Amino acid sequence: MKALRITLLCTLLLAACSKTDTVSFDYSINSPDGTLTAYFGVTPSGEPFYKLEREGKTVIAPSRLGFELTDGSDLRSGFVVTDVSFDSADETWQPVWGEEREIRNHYNEMLLTIEQQPEGILPPQSGVSATDPDYTGDPGNPSGKGAVIRLRFRLYDDGLGFRYEFPLENKLRYFNIAEELTEFAMSGDHIAWWISGDYDTQEYNYTRSRLSEIRNHSESMRLGNASATGFSDTGVQTALQLKTDSGLYINIHEAAVVNYPTTNLLLDDKHMVFRTWLTPDAEGVKGRMQAPCVTPWRTVMVVDDARKVLASRLILNLNEPCALDDVSWIHPVKYMGVWWEMITGKTQWSYTWNLPSVQLGVTDYSALKPHGQHGANNDNVRRYIDFAAANGFDAILVEGWNEGWEDWFGCQKDYVFDFVTPYPDFDLPALNKYAHEKGIRLVMHHETSSSTVNYERHMEAAYELMNRYGYDAVKSGYVGNIIPYGEHHYSQPVINHYMYALQHAADHHIMVNAHEAVRPTGLCRTWPNLIGNESAMGTEYRGRIDPGHSCVLPFTRLQGGPMDYTPGIFEQDMSITAPGQTGKMRHTLANQLGLYVTFYSPLQMAADLPENYERFPDAFQFIKDVAVDWDKSLYLEAEPGDYIVTARKPRLETLNSGRLSGKSGAYEFVYKDGREHDVWFVGGVCGENAHEATFSLDFLDPALLYEAVLYADGPDADYETAPQSYTITSSVVTAADKMTVKMARSGGFGLSLRSL
Ligand code: NOJ
Ligand code: CA
């Protein structure tokens, strides 16, 4: 292995030298604390390059920048630098909800303008060649300029963001991208936590391997999801987590993907160079651009401690500030759902077996024989509302409430749901009234079956229905192949659909939690009504989820925004939850408690069935108590795939706001005797190997005593043999104490700390 690695490094160095030894890196910036330096330069033939160093050592070796356009224009060379300016910022901003109350945005910026000479560049629109004898100038380009690109580099202490900007004074006015050619040249054969490159899904387990081994693993990653489109054996998705042999953690992702396709990364594993690989639209175009416009930010985080990856706010900081004037209607949500019983097969989304082909508006459901297993029936929904109200939750999601589930999947139907017509046994007005009387909101469900055209067609009426009956949150879903046919979940037109749905929802004061949509890139800063996304393999995969999956996601998927992972599964054996079904989940019960703290989401579900929680009321107490919106977050221990231990202090003003607040039992927990207690929650999870967490409580107020309640794996706990073995112990602790907590394989713990 060592010999192989030396060979690879030599190959890499040779490749780098032969291509880039003539780059003159004349422009650079340092991060505010001087740790990172980003360089930009061009070769004598005008090829733009950048590189990134940390404390003088290479993180990203010289890497190309540029594009190829569908009209053959080559935006990779012939550039000269015509301007450079520098700027910096050091400000704090307050997220509407988040892992902390204030976020510092502190960077140095370098903005370069590069221009290709006008000669030799084809006019973009006219179809007339500049060399044509009849050519008398380009009416599409009154600026008379060549292709002009601005490259904006923002360097933070923990990473780099850069993007391409296309100003109006430009040869490039309307242009189509064949490929973005941004490279990320690796400095070695790093360890990577990766999922296969795909245009349609992120619902995969992660593989940990050397970069050079990605090719050998890729086939095993194709799991046969409802919609999956791979493109290469060395294609991977972002956020990509890497670790170097010298112990640096590098994370490559993107921020603020707006009106542009999502990128995958394609690895040239001979030279260890990644490059962007955009998702094509139905005609193979990888971005239809109109100047002035910008690309998403390309991001490279680099830190020397895994905990700093979790603490980084790089992606959020690179997004635009909140676009909404009034955010008073946006609130955290702790919810349950008439959902897990469908996922596990105990009940169904559909109403009848007697209807192989639904004609919406024509089919008369009341004339059909129900199969008797419809989960979203009035009695069952009331049962959930009662349980949620009795245990202090905010909301109940109800899936399968609307007509169309008999042929929703696999049929590639355009007109699949109308989003407004309930099944005969779901009394929408009465159930909402019942819920509201008990302080509960119903969460709407809009499964689109990926027919985005159909969703847009019905969206206004669907949101109006929600407004009329007091729904303020929707879970949308995009299962299956996208309609319009040939589009992909991550292509530009579909990215624009998600944004359309989000902005339109904001107009209606509706919060959105989209499943199977594109993985987030920090847009929740700008649109805080995006309170959740799935966009990764979540609990619904049950026994197929690898131990350790939840120890990778905070490093990858959650870098872009919160995940509706749907934790809280106390019954791992599916045959108990849903008689007749098989399969076992691979985690301990205490692991599920830890997830409420290690996974940040302002939208947290207690996903298991009420009857499963009733069997473990003492452990359920932690789910009731734990907050979902935070004043501060501290990352006490972390290693991707192996373990994460996080401590968080609730935002008291959210809990005390009087509005729905993700409060659950925590509301009384905090204010039990009328005083404001100082409260912290700590959660831990670990992967395939057991882990002993050791951490100091020095984040507590040294002047106070705290009651600590620890929900931990029992001495014999094991995800295969004793997943439901747990212990609950109370003690009095101070800031001077240290805690040691043993986590079983795929185990975890929850700890609540309240000042006395
Ligand atoms: C997939 C989603 O992830 C899941 O939560 C939902 O229940 C089904 N689609 C049906 O919409
Ligand atoms: Ca899903």
Let me know: does 48 contact 40? Beta carbons within 8 Å.
yes
Q: What is the pLDDT of residue 410?
A: 86
Q: What is the pLDDT of residue 224?
A: 66
β partners of residue 240: 252
Q: What is the pLDDT of residue 505?
A: 98
Q: Distance, CA 477 to ligand 1 centroid (Å)?
A: 6
Q: How confident is the model at residue 356 (pLDDT cuts 50, 70, 90)?
A: confident
Mean pLDDT score across all residues of the chain: 92
Let me know: does 206 contact 223? Beta carbons within 8 Å.
no
Q: Distance, CA 475 to ligand 2 centroid (Å)?
A: 11
**Mean pLDDT along residues 390-403:** 95
Calculate the CA 662 to chain-centre distance.
Answer: 20
Asked whether residue 133 carries a pLDDT value surpassing 60, the answer given is: no
Tokens of 301: 């985080």
pLDDT in tens, 376-386: 999 999 999 99
**Mean pLDDT along residues 2-28:** 57
Q: Distance, CA 537 to ligand 2 centroid (Å)?
A: 7
Q: Sheet harboring 630-639: ordered strands across? A: 630-639, 643-650, 679-686, 748-755, 706-713, 726-733
CA–CA gap between residue 19 and residue 441 (Å, rounded): 60
Closest ligand to C-alpha of residue 375 is 1
Q: Express the helix, strand and coil content of the chain in percent, nearest 5 each.
A: 20, 30, 45
Asked whether residue 130 carries a pLDDT value surpassing 90, the answer given is: no
Contact 540 CB / ligand 1 (< 6 Å): yes
Q: What is the pLDDT of residue 468?
A: 98
Bigger pLDDT: 739 or 124? 739
Instruction: Give, as one character, the DSSP assignment of residue 8.
Output: H
Q: What pTM was computed for the model?
A: 0.94
Contact 447 CB / ligand 1 (< 6 Å): yes
> C-alpha distances in angstroms, 578 versus 152, 521, 582, 611?
54, 36, 8, 12
Contact 341 CB / ligand 1 (< 6 Å): no
Q: Residue 612, SS3? A: helix
Contact 564 CB / ligand 1 (< 6 Å): no
pLDDT in tens, 679-727: 999 999 999 999 999 999 999 999 999 999 999 999 999 999 999 999 9
Contact 472 CB / ligand 1 (< 6 Å): no
Asked whether residue 126 carries a pLDDT value surpassing 80, the answer given is: no
Asked whether residue 396 carries a pLDDT value surpassing 80, the answer given is: yes
- Among 202, 340, 399, name the best residue to mutate to test ligand 1's pocket (greatest count of ligand atoms within 8 A of Cβ): 399
> Minimum mean pLDDT among 2-11, 49-58, 160-169: which range?
2-11
Asked whether residue 125 carries a pLDDT value surpassing 50, the answer given is: no
- Among 444, 540, 563, 569, name the best residue to mutate to test ligand 1's pocket (greatest count of ligand atoms within 8 A of Cβ): 540
Residue having the nearest C-alpha atom to atom 3 of ligand 1: 515
Contact 487 CB / ligand 1 (< 6 Å): no
Q: What is the pLDDT of residue 670?
A: 56
Q: Go through the domains of the chain in sequence order and give each one's CATH number.
A: 2-317 (2.70.98.10), 547-561+571-601+611-756 (3.20.20.70)
Contact 271 CB / ligand 1 (< 6 Å): no
CA–CA gap between residue 604 and residue 530 (Å, rounded): 13
In this prediction, what percent of the chain has a pLDDT beyond 90? Answer: 87
Asked whether residue 237 carries a pLDDT value surpassing 50, the answer given is: yes
Q: How confident is the model at residue 652 (pLDDT cuts 50, 70, 90)?
A: confident
Q: What is the pLDDT of residue 677?
A: 84
Catalytic positions, please? 540
Q: What is the pLDDT of residue 668?
A: 56
**Mean pLDDT along residues 310-315:** 98
In this prediction, what percent of the chain has a pLDDT beyond 70? Answer: 90
Asked whether residue 4 carries a pLDDT value surpassing 50, the answer given is: no
pLDDT in tens, 426-466: 999 999 999 999 999 999 999 999 999 999 999 999 999 99
pLDDT in tens, 157-214: 999 999 999 999 999 999 999 999 999 999 999 999 999 999 999 999 999 999 999 9
Between helices 617-625 and 589-598, what is the axis angle to 10°?
Answer: 0
Q: What is the pLDDT of residue 747?
A: 98
Asked whether residue 18 carries a pLDDT value surpassing 70, the answer given is: no
Q: How confident is the model at residue 139 (pLDDT cuts 50, 70, 90)?
A: low
Long-range contacts (CB closer than 8 Å, 24 or more residues apart) made by 201-205: 201/225, 201/226, 201/227, 201/228, 201/489, 201/516, 202/237, 202/519, 202/535, 202/536, 202/537, 202/557, 203/516, 203/536, 203/537, 203/538, 203/541, 204/537, 205/537, 205/544, 205/545, 205/546, 205/549
Question: Residue holding tokens 């998705």?
Answer: 237
Q: Is-cis flag, bond preceding 239, omega within 30?
A: yes
pLDDT in tens, 335-352: 999 999 999 999 999 999
β partners of residue 209: 192
- Ligand 1 atom with the shortest distance to the CA of 538: 3
Nearest one of 201, 199, 200, 234 to 217, comparing CA atoms: 234
Q: What is the pLDDT of residue 141?
A: 66
Bigger pLDDT: 369 or 676? 369
pLDDT in tens, 618-636: 999 999 989 999 999 999 9
**Mean pLDDT along residues 356-369:** 93
- Among 489, 515, 545, name the best residue to mutate to test ligand 1's pocket (greatest count of ligand atoms within 8 A of Cβ): 515
pLDDT in tens, 716-730: 999 999 999 999 999
If residue 237 lies in a helix (H) or strand (E), which one and from where to where? Answer: strand 235-237
**Mean pLDDT along residues 220-243:** 88
Instruction: Map 433-448 to HEC letters.
Output: HHHHHCCCEEEEEEEC
CA–CA gap between residue 490 and residue 517 (Å, rounded): 8
Contact 534 CB / ligand 1 (< 6 Å): yes
- Ligand 1 atom with the shortest distance to the CA of 515: 3
